[in-house]
Amino acid sequence: MENKPSNAQQALPPEQAAAKAAILAECERLAEAEITFVVVQFDGSGDPGVNEDIKYYATEDYGYEESEVQNANFSHLQEHFETLVLYGYEDGWGGFGDVLLNVQTRKITVEQQRSL
C-alpha cells in the first residue's frame, strides 16, 4: 500500500507557495505592531464574488470584528492573501470563508464553506 501525503503535506502550487512565504515573512513586523491575527474574507454569493479588504486584529482569540486594529497598514499583503483563496469559490455555488493568519503561531488557515 502506497503512503500518500496528507493535504497539509502536499506541495502548494508555486504562486500559492510564494504568497505563503511573503505573508509569513511579515510576521515579525505584524507582531511588533501588536497584531495577532490577519484575515481576508471572501464571499461568492454573487458572481464574480468578492474578497473583502484585509483586516487586522489584536486579540488573544480571533473573533470577527472584535479588537480590530484600525491604523495598521500591511495592505501590500492583500494580494498574497487573495492568492490563497481557493479557486472557484464564486463560481455557481456561492462559497464563502476566511484566509486567516495567526501571527503568533505563524499558521495560515483557509476556511471555506458552501452556501446552500
Q: For 21-55, what is each residue's pLDDT tens digit?
A: 999 999 999 999 999 999 888 776 665 666 677 88
Question: Which of the residue ranges 3-7, 36-40, 92-96 has the most confident prediction, judged by mean pLDDT?
Answer: 36-40
Assigned domain for 2 exists:
no
Give the mean model confidence (pLDDT) for residues 70-88: 82
Q: Report the phi/psi class of residue 90: left, alpha or beta, with left for phi > 0 and alpha for psi in -120 to 50.
A: alpha
C-alpha cell at 54: 484585509
Per-residue pLDDT, 3: 46
Domain that holds residue 54: 14-113
What are the residues facing 110 on neighbouring strands?
A: 99
User: What pTM does this model have?
Assistant: 0.77
Per-residue pLDDT, 84: 83
Assigned domain for 60 exists:
yes
How many structural domains compose the chain? 1
Per-residue pLDDT, 37: 93
Cα distance between residue 37 and residue 98, in whole Å: 12
